[in-house]
Structure 1
Amino acid sequence: MGMRLQRSMGRFVMTVIAGLLLAGCAEDAGVDQHGRKVAVERLEDQWLVINYWAEWCGPCRTEIPELNHLAKELKGQQVEVFGVNFDGLQGAELAKSSEALGIEFTVLATDPATRFSLPRSEALPVTYLVDKSGKVRDRLMGEQTAAGLRKRLLELQASD
């Protein structure tokens, strides 16, 4: 009876460990401004435009429509536009601020700075261009346009 219990416990422990390992495969990158999970695959194997913004930042407000346009233009082209709130807003505050600025692209509630080794910027807006391998290829300070970002992405992609 004791051996059977040990074997059962051993199988149970192995099942729990296997479950935990498989759960790790379903990793996500946090949630967006609407509280929806962001699949980690959206941050892998494609170019990323990661823009840091704040509601109090005048140039950010002017830049948002350009980023909305760029996100629509690049849909399905192995490039995705993401926003990150500089002030670290979460939940309802992040949703409200994103809506106030008219942001239509995905805003990450979890800052991806650690994942991509993004250097901290004390000035806004700042936009990082990250290649398919997760390497930061450019750091653009100040207000950007859709045309300027598209041009810079093409230049960087051509040098690969």
Structure 2
Amino acid sequence: MGAQLQVVIRSVIGICACLILAGCGEDVGVDQSGRKVTAGSLEGQWLVINYWAEWCAPCRTEIPELNALAKQFKERSVTVLGVNFDGLQGEELRKASQALGIEFTVLEQDPAARYELPRSEVLPVTYIIDSQGQVRERLLGEQTAAGLTARLKTLQAGE
């Protein structure tokens, strides 16, 4: 009986390890430079997901604020992600991101289904997702780094 129990325990440990590794490698998609973004790289992070478009004047004004926020929180478990509202892909997305001076990660694939984000017809729109993957805020209109920092601190304090 002892030997059988050891075999079962080893099997369970092996299965758990495979599941953990598989979850880390799960693809969220690629960024504006074609680099893979994995679910594991975002796990446990607070996310600031911003939808933007080239034709949106407030989006253009907001991008330097989001760049500053991304730099400010780089080492503090907060990741800023962009999503092009018009669904640009590949080279078009890279060019648009570069032209607008976007320094944070822009996802080629829309993560709306993953985080159950409602489609917005207003731009810009920014979602704050907590470290458990739950939507905590939907912010319409142009945001500032200071305003987003304050919202993040308030939300994180209530966690």
2:99 aligns with 100
Percent same amino acid at aligned positions?
68
Which stretches of structure 1, 4 residues or more, deviate above 4 A after TM superposition?
21-25
Structure 2 equivalent of residue 75 of structure 1? 74
Partner of 1:12: none
* TM-score normalized with structure 1 length: 0.84
Equivalent residue, structure 2, for 1:62: 61
C-alpha deviation, 1:144, in angstroms: 0.2
Q: How far apart in 2 are the matches of 1:44 and 1:115?
A: 12
Q: Distance in 2 between matches of 1:27 and 1:159?
A: 30
Say which SS state the counterpart of residue 62 (structure 1) adopts. Answer: helix
2:131 paired residue number:
132
**1:42 to partner: Cα distance:** 2.5
Tell me the alpha carbon deviations over residues 53-105 of structure 1, each in whole angstroms, 9 at most, x when there is no partner: 00000000000000000000001101000000000000000001001100000
Alignment of 1:1-160 (within 5 A): 24-25=22-23, 26-160=25-159
SS in 2 for 1:35: coil
C-alpha distance in 1 between matches for 2:72 and 2:38: 21
Structure 2, gaps ≥5 residues long: 1-14
> For 1:56 and 1:67, how far apart are their aligned partners in 2?
17
Aligned mates of 2:94, 2:52 — CA distance in 1: 14
Structure 1 portions without partners, runs of 5+: 1-17
Aligned letter for 2:84?
N
> Larger Cα Rg: Structure 1 or Structure 2?
1
Greater Cα shift, 45-54 or 25-34: 25-34
Take 1:136 and 1:114, find their aligned partners in 2: how far apart are those partners?
12
- Residues matched between the structures, number: 141
* Whole-angstrom CA distance in 1 between matches of 2:26 and 2:48: 21
2:6 aligns with none
Deviation at 1:24, TM superposition (A): 4.4
